[in-house]
A and B are shown apart, each in its own frame.
Chain A
Amino acid sequence: MVIHFTCNGKPVTVDVDGDMRVLDVLRDVLDLTGTKEGCGEGECGACTIILNGKTVNSCLLYAGKLQGAVVETIEGLSGDSAGLHPIQESFLEEGAVQCGFCTPGMVLSTKALLDRHPDPSIKEIETALSGNFCRCTGYGKIMKAVVSSAEKLRDSREDGHQSGTGLGVKRG
């Protein structure tokens, strides 16, 4: 079936089986391989995308659901010359990335949360990220990265500009 939707701000049209997984539409048809597959059963969150403002596991969703939808993937966040999104910046600053396989999903779950709640409580963060598994970090630094990106985003809203130091070295 022919499906029209918006992906990372751009209109796209694909012609695929309606029962193709959205994960495969993104990865195999649109070559957006930043969205990962960790379990294929809706449990790990590696395949998280933002669909109409809400996070979903794209491994559980069928292409038919994309009709007219607005989709954000990790590729939409990175921007080009604009550099990293503050959430990505915070993940690096806080050491919240090890193997990085869970990272795109984590970053998107964080973004969807902060879009709704600029100042989330720890409990709200836990709820928002509880579907994103990470085996490497133990989550402590991910929690810190979410808190600090929330601060950054609030600051940038107040100042009307984006922060981000670009420095390679942080005080030990």
Chain B
Amino acid sequence: MAEHTIIGKSVRKVDGIELVTGKAKFTADMKFPGMLYGYELRAGVPAGIIESIDASEALKEPGVHMVLTAKDLLGPNLIGVLPPFDQPVLPDREIRYAGESIALVVADTREGAKRACRNIKAVITPIEPILTMEQALAEDARKIHPQGNVTFSRTLTKGNVEQGFAEADVVIEGSYTTTFQDHCYIEPEIACAVPSGDNRITLYVSCQSPFHIRGHVAANLNVPASKVKVVQAYTGGSFGGKDDAAVEIGILAGTAALKLGRPVTIAHEREESIAGTNVRHAAEIAYKTGARKDGTITARQVKVLLDGGAYASESPFVTMKAMIHASGPYAIDHIEVESTSVYTNKTYAGAFRGFGVPQVTFASESEIDELAKHLGIDPLELRRKNGLKAGDKTATSQVYDQSVGYLQTLDAVEPSLRETGTKENDGRYLYGTGIASVIQGISNGAEGVDVVGASVQMSQDASVLVGCGLAEMGQGSRTVFSQIAAEVLGIPVDWVTVRQVDTDAVHDSGPTVASRSTTVGGMAVKQAAETVRQSLVKMASLMFKTDESMIVLKEGFAVLTVDDTARIPLRDVATAAYWTGFPLMHLAFSQAEPADFDHDTHQGRVYIAYNFGTHLMHVKVDRYTGEVEVLKHVASHDVGKVVNPMAASGQVEGASLIGFALGHMEKVEYKDGIIQNPTFADYAFPSIRDRIPTETIFVEDPTPHGPYGAKGIGEPPVAAAAAAFANAVSQAVGHRFTHIPITREDIAAVLQEEV
């Protein structure tokens, strides 16, 4: 393969300077003349009927401009991800979770709007809330939505599990549960709507799917989509969370701005962010796994129940994703997974980094360790024996003939396992090492078409502007896109600028989800850059009076292959190309191979590629206090090709800490349907003291579907880290924990019992 000059290098973050200097404009940093602030009044009861909302007192307060309730909205008052939509922007009658907004106050200041909220008289008749999945699924349960309390349910069937269990020498079963986790990006949700003189409206939003917002805002303002412009401001983290919430406040701010003819900002407070907007699904998962004595897994049967809270949001897709990934990165002939999401009267659950995979991975990998124990086989060997290889059939019977680097990730952690696995317990401290593997689909796959449009435009001075509809949320997509454009065009990275997403200026590229930026987005940028490159090479060949094959572009020059000193600066080439009429801009579309599968059995082609990974965690547990210290954490992932080692390992480290916290610390706690810990003071957010010593080892087994072979890495470490932690602690304590988070108190309680 050709040597790359920029791909594979730890290029610094291209938008880093404005961030370290504080100059980057996040939404809250933008001010517009006459700007007003909105604040939402929330229901406060998990289920109820709105009898009346009287805002007359609030409206009398100085500085208050408007109070919006459901009847004031301009459109269908309906949002969601998959039709039929089920979520009102503001409910007109039924309240389905305590954090639900029921009115918006618009005032001169945020404090003023918040104060005025207290003077709104909302008469709500509470109804008995449905707070558990068991209650929701009971036969005579009240229906939270007209169609019932099952949000979405599907079954995957591969082979015949009955036959698989009949072939097994051992069959083990286990039940596992996980809790709600909040995204906790440091910048809470915010949107600012600015009406403009041309009868359009512009939204500056912290978000991850600008086109999704545009569509919903236009529909709910009852204007054509072309009247709405969404500009993604610098976004302080999203992790899946700034989609639905951004839609909701985008519509509210937009409605108020249209009605008042003034800019309106809605900025959530931390408490609203945790209690009012989506979280990671809690899950109840039952596994049954059969294997032969030699370790060959013959069958897995899984039942996944996901608590999706009050509205569907991304639940259907999370349900599918959990289903497809539940059997793990293993080649198993007989699989049956029934996956169901359920409505309850709690804050709705939606997309969150990992998207259903962390929950099932924790359960699946716990069960694999239990199986290893049963069979007396080393946990790593058991995984190796069953691990997917190129040519094997996945759970959906898809076969990849390359880029299945799972076994190499096991090899990568093996030395650490051998080194730490023998550590003896000493007096006060218990030691344990756990491994866990993950498989995570890249691209939208079963979740819909996957098309990204990207434009590459070279100016006469050879600087380049890249536009792509996928959002930079901190994950480094701008840097990756810059590297790709620079590599193709033979220019330094800092000649490339990647513009912010502005729905006026880039093509709808779908949501920035499913670890698809590098893979599908990167492919589009590469294709667009390659077309511009053709113009440059053609021009250079005319200037050198030689064949195109004799030209390379590098270091900002067109250079003769046979004589490295024969160089023409690319700005001269670009200028000449411009005057000759060779196009210097191109819009390319990259479309991931569409999914094609049976909708009953879910057998067929689903994702363009999978990321595979194995994590190892070595922990020390304090017998007296239950306190855990992670002494070693090795994270190995097959990413196809590392485009930027520093950025990629940053993704692994950040995702791993979120996974570790899911496994050990974080939970959204409910009492009677009300969240008890909606602040950073009460929510167990990991600080620098809780960091884990992540050591990343990349495996590169390239995929033909990503640029230079690259596959995404944003999500998979979450699942693997949570599961590896659970296995490590279970081993140290000598007790199988079947619920995450496994908190210090949980561990102490188990150790207490043993004494």
List the interface of chain A (C-beta within 8 A of B).
Answer: 27, 32-41, 43-44, 46, 73-75, 77-78, 84, 88, 91-95, 97-104, 107, 125-126, 129-143, 168-172
Contacts and interface: CB of A to CB of B under 8 A. Distances in A.
B463 to A, nearest CB: 14
A34 B158 CA distance: 54
Contacts of A107: 20
B19 interface: yes
B20 A91 contact: yes
Given A39-B679, A168-B11, A168-B494, A97 B269 contact: no
B8 interface: yes
Interface of B: 6, 8-13, 15-26, 28-29, 183-188, 234-237, 239, 269-270, 473-476, 492-494, 642, 644-647, 649-650, 653-658, 679-681, 685, 687-689, 691-694
A115 B422 CA distance: 44
A116 to B, nearest CB: 18
B680 A41 contact: yes
Given A34-B23, A97-B19, A137-B650, 14 more contacts: A34-B21, A35-B22, A40-B269, A84-B20, A95-B650, A99-B236, A100-B234, A104-B22, A129-B688, A135-B654, A138-B656, A138-B692, A141-B646, A171-B9
Contact of B22 (A40, A73, A143): A73
Nearest to A128: B688
A138 B653 contact: yes
Contact of B186 (A46, A91, A95, A143): A46
Nearest to A146: B688
Contacts of A140: 653, 691, 693-694
Nearest to A32: B22
A93 B474 CA distance: 16
Q: Which of A84, A126, A135, A171 has the most CB of B within 10 A?
A: A135
Contacts of B23: 34, 78
B691 A138 contact: yes
A169 B486 CA distance: 13
Contacts of A39: 269-270, 679-680
A38 B9 CA distance: 33
B472 to A, nearest CB: 9
A141 to B, nearest CB: 6
A148 B492 CA distance: 26
A148 B724 CA distance: 31
A36 B187 contact: yes
Contacts, number: 202
A46 B184 CA distance: 13
A36 B237 CA distance: 13
Contacts of B20: 78, 84, 88, 91-92, 97, 100, 103-104, 107
Nearest to A28: B31
A41 B679 CA distance: 8
The 4 residue pairs across chains A and B that have the minimum distance between CB atoms: A34-B22, A99-B474, A100-B19, A101-B236
B16 A92 contact: yes
B184 A130 contact: no
B415 to A, nearest CB: 21
A101 B494 CA distance: 23
B680 A43 contact: yes
Nearest to B647: A95
Given A36-B26, A138-B657, A170 B10 contact: yes
Q: Which of B21, B644, B692 has the most CB of A within 10 A?
A: B21
Q: Which of B20, B494, B644, B687 has the most CB of A within 10 A?
A: B20
Contacts of B25: 33
24 contacts: A32-B22, A33-B28, A38-B187, A38-B188, A38-B270, A39-B680, A78-B20, A78-B22, A84-B17, A88-B20, A91-B20, A95-B12, A95-B649, A98-B654, A99-B237, A101-B186, A135-B184, A136-B650, A138-B691, A139-B688, A168-B494, A169-B493, A172-B642, A172-B645
Q: Which of A75, A97, A130 has the most CB of B within 10 A?
A: A97
Contact of A133 (B21, B473, B653, B680): B680
A95 B187 contact: no
A137 B188 CA distance: 17
Nearest to B184: A135
A10 to B, nearest CB: 16
A36 B236 contact: yes
B185 A135 contact: yes
A92 B656 contact: no
A168 B11 CA distance: 6
A43 B234 CA distance: 22
B691 A100 contact: no
Nearest to A102: B186
Nearest to B185: A135
A77 B23 CA distance: 12
Contact of A97 (B11, B13, B493, B658): B13
Contacts of A77: 21
Contacts of B657: 138-139
A126 B649 CA distance: 21
Contact of A135 (B9, B237, B692): B237
Contact of A168 (B28, B236, B493, B680): B493
